[in-house]
Structure 1
Amino acid sequence: MAPIRFGIPLYPYQAIDVMGSLDVIAGSQINMLKICEDMGLISKDAHKKGMELEFYHIQDSSTGIAPMKLDLENISVFGNTTCADCPPLDYLLLGGPMPDYKMPDEMINFIKDRVAKKEIKTVFTTCTGSLVLAQTGLLDGRRAAVNHNGITLAEKLYPAVNWVKRSDKLNWVVDGNIWTATTAVTGMDMFSHWLLDQCGLEITKISLDLLGHGLRGVDGKPVEL
Structure 2
Amino acid sequence: MSTLNGPKKLRIGVMLEEVQLADIVGIDIFGNISDPYVSGVISVDPKYAKFGPHAVSIEFFYMATTLETSFMTPPQAGSDSLGGFKFVPTVTYDDCPRDLDIVLIGGPLPSHRPPQADKFMKEAWSKTPVWLTTCIGSVWLASTGLLEGKTCTTNKEFLDMANQMYPGTNWLRQRWVVEEKEYEGTDGRKGELWTAGGAGAGIDMIAHYCLKRFGHEFVNTMSLEMLELNPGGRYGQFYT
TM-score after normalising by structure 1: 0.87
Partner of 1:59: 64
CA distance in structure 2 between the partners assigned to 1:120 and 1:220 by the alignment:
29
CA distance in structure 2 between the partners assigned to 1:84 and 1:157 by the alignment:
26
User: In the TM superposition, what is the alpha-carbon distance from 1:43 to its structure 2 partner?
Assistant: 2.5
Residues 1:97 and 1:83: Cα distance change in structure 2 (over 3 Å): closer
SS at match of 1:96: coil
| 1:211 has 2:219 as partner | no
2:92 to 82, 87, 109: 82
The answer to whether the Cα contact below 8 Å between 2:8 and 2:56 also exists between their aligned partners in 1 is: no
The answer to whether the Cα contact below 8 Å between 1:11 and 1:68 also exists between their aligned partners in 2 is: yes
Instruction: Letter of the 1:130 partner, please give it.
Output: S
Partner of 2:14: 8
Percent sequence identity is 27
The answer to whether the Cα contact below 8 Å between 1:101 and 1:132 also exists between their aligned partners in 2 is: no
Residues 1:41 and 1:183: Cα distance change in structure 2 (over 3 Å): farther
- 1:46-93 per-position Cα deviation (integer Å, ceiling 9, x unaligned): 121121111101122xxx201212244711112101123223411111
Partner of 1:200: 215
CA distance in structure 2 between the partners assigned to 1:65 and 1:187 by the alignment:
26
Residues 1:162 and 1:31: Cα distance change in structure 2 (over 3 Å): same
Partner of 1:174: 178
SS at match of 1:193: helix
The answer to whether the Cα contact below 8 Å between 1:195 and 1:204 also exists between their aligned partners in 2 is: yes
SS at match of 2:201: helix
Question: Aligned residues, how many?
Answer: 210
Residues 1:172 and 1:41: Cα distance change in structure 2 (over 3 Å): farther
CA distance in structure 2 between the partners assigned to 1:10 and 1:127 by the alignment:
12
Which aligned runs of 4 or more in structure 1 are off by greater than 2 angstroms? none
Instruction: Letter of the 2:157 partner, please give it.
Output: N
Partner of 1:33: 38
TM-score after normalising by structure 2: 0.82
SS at match of 1:120: coil
User: In the TM superposition, what is the alpha-carbon distance from 1:147 to its structure 2 partner?
Assistant: 0.7
Question: 5+ unaligned residues in a row in structure 1: which ranges?
Answer: none
Alignment RMSD: 1.8
Question: 5+ unaligned residues in a row in structure 2: which ranges?
Answer: 1-6, 77-83, 181-191
SS at match of 2:168: coil
| 1:157 has 2:165 as partner | yes
